[in-house]
Amino acid sequence: VIVVLSGGVGAARLLRALRYVVAPSDVTAIVNVGDDLELHGLTICPDLDTITYTLAGLNNEELGWGLTGETWRVMDELTALGGASWFRLGDKDLATHLFRTQRLRDGATKSAVTAEITARLGILETLLPVTNDHLATRFRTEIGELSFQEYFVQHHHDTVVEEILFEGASTCQAAPGVLAALRSAERIVIAPSNPLISVAPLLQVPGVREILVERRAHVIAVSPIVAGNALKGPADRLLRELGYDSSALGVAAYYANFVGTMIIDDADAALAPEIRAHDMDVRVTTTVMAERDNASRLAKEVVA
Ligand code: FO1
């Protein structure tokens, strides 16, 4: 069984690529919930939904989030009423948030609701939110403290970050199945997600980092930085702002205590010797999954 520590888009693409090489029922994704938010009385889980929609073949490839064939009539009415419209919820996407919110109100856990939604959409991979407790990524910035989505969407991740905070980290518990999956996995994969804001919240959950450290030889990470740049989002900028090298080497240094193997892009092949100096194995391949051939080649490297 393969466990994938997952953020949003990069993880969703890797999980989809893994279908070329392993049975989906042998794959478990442990998913970040630090981006989750409450808005209009609804509980919204962007990373869980991005992965769910991608694996169901329903994701909006243009936007990178939300559903394909989306319409925005509710948002238009909400905007006319003067409601919060900076975080856009499509008409179809809203059904997911309505369903989840009602089920949570009925007393179901986030894990249970996730299992219900993925089963309904015919997804055979197991998706586990890392915790069912409150865990929220927040930012101390030059303009004050911001929630994840205020920083990411409202401010277009274009304000200087001084510190990243994980509210609830000390009191949350891993969701059912999370620690057991990490203990028993043949391979633990860290998806090409933002190390500081997508992977770091997972590591905050008591038990997760400890198991990774113990099982370092089985942990493989795909660099989300290629030739110094993030494929998507602010990973490169955040690494620099928080004092890390914005490169596959910087990611390797950040992961060195709990990752035994790094997969880096062909463009970064020259960094391999310095990464090996962190006592890591290095595999070099095309990590950009835009084309089918590249995605399946990367998936093969991940499970090799
Ligand atoms: N990203 C945006 O840039 N603008 C939005 O209005 C927006 C809405 C949204 C609604 C549901 C959802 O699941 C994701 C949404 N995202 C939006 C993406 C999201 O903010 C981030 O990309 C992730 O949280 C980072 O992984």
Write the DSSP string, 60-88. Answer: -TTTSSSBTT---HHHHHHHHTT---SS-
Contacts of 238 (CB under 8 A, 6+ apart): 157, 161, 164, 194, 196, 197
Place of tokens 């090489």: 21
pLDDT digit string (tens) for 188-237?
999 999 999 999 999 999 999 999 999 999 999 999 999 999 988 999 99
Q: What is the pLDDT of residue 291?
A: 86
Q: Which runs of consecutive H residues, i.e. helices, occur in 106-204?
A: 110-120, 148-149, 178-184, 200-204
* Residue 292: per-residue pLDDT: 87
Dist CA 169 CA 24 (whole Å): 30
Atom of ligand 1 nearest to the CA of 193: 26
Q: List strand residue ranges (DSSP E) for the chain, in order.
A: 2-6, 27-31, 37-39, 42-44, 126-129, 136-141, 144-147, 161-167, 187-190, 219-222, 225-226, 229-230, 261-265, 281-285
Indicate whether residue 44 lines ligand 1 (CB < 6 A): yes
Q: For the chain, how long is the longest CA-to-CA vector?
A: 58
Q: Is 70 in the pocket of ligand 1 (CB under 6 A)?
A: no
Q: Give residue 232's pLDDT.
A: 86
Please work out whether the CB of residue 36 comes within 6 Å of at least one atom of ligand 1. no
Q: How many Å lie between the centroid of ligand 1 and the Cα of residue 105?
A: 23
DSSP one-letter string for 220-253:
EEE-SEETTEESSTTHHHHHHHTT--SSHHHHHH
Establish whether residue 40 lines the binding site of ligand 1, counting it when its CB lies within 6 angstroms of any ligand atom: no
Query: Which parts of the chain register pLDDT below 50?
Result: none
Check pocket membership of 268 for ligand 1, CB cut-off 6 A. Answer: no
